[in-house]
Amino acid sequence: MSKLKELIKSPHIHIALATGFSIIILAYFSKKILTEPLSYLQLALPPFIATIYESLFEKNKESKFLTTWYWVVAIVAATALVIVSSWK
């Protein structure tokens, strides 16, 4: 059980969950709600933010700028921005 708790506390898991949630929300909105499907570039924005986080985290793990909470909020905000910008 302690390995599971350690795994859940990992910042990589938090970023992966936020990114996965973002992809599912964007796919749903693109297919069911929006009048036109989202472009590949729009769909790639939140995962791109996650990729930037992962690359920066590997280089400098102790930076306050790399607090996981900030990046999860950035992924959610990018998801909302993509949806709002595509709404007609």
Q: How many domains does the chain have?
A: 1
Per-residue pLDDT tens digits for 22-74 = 999 999 999 999 999 999 999 999 999 999 999 999 888 888 888 999 999 99
Specify whether the CB–CB gap between 50 and 16 falls below 8 A.
Answer: yes
Range of the domain at 30: 2-86
Give the end-to-end CA distance of the chain in Å, rounded to a whole number: 48
DSSP-derived letter for residue 35 is: S
pTM of the model: 0.90
Euclidean distance between CA atoms 13 and 1, whole angstroms: 17
Euclidean distance between CA atoms 7 and 64, whole angstroms: 21
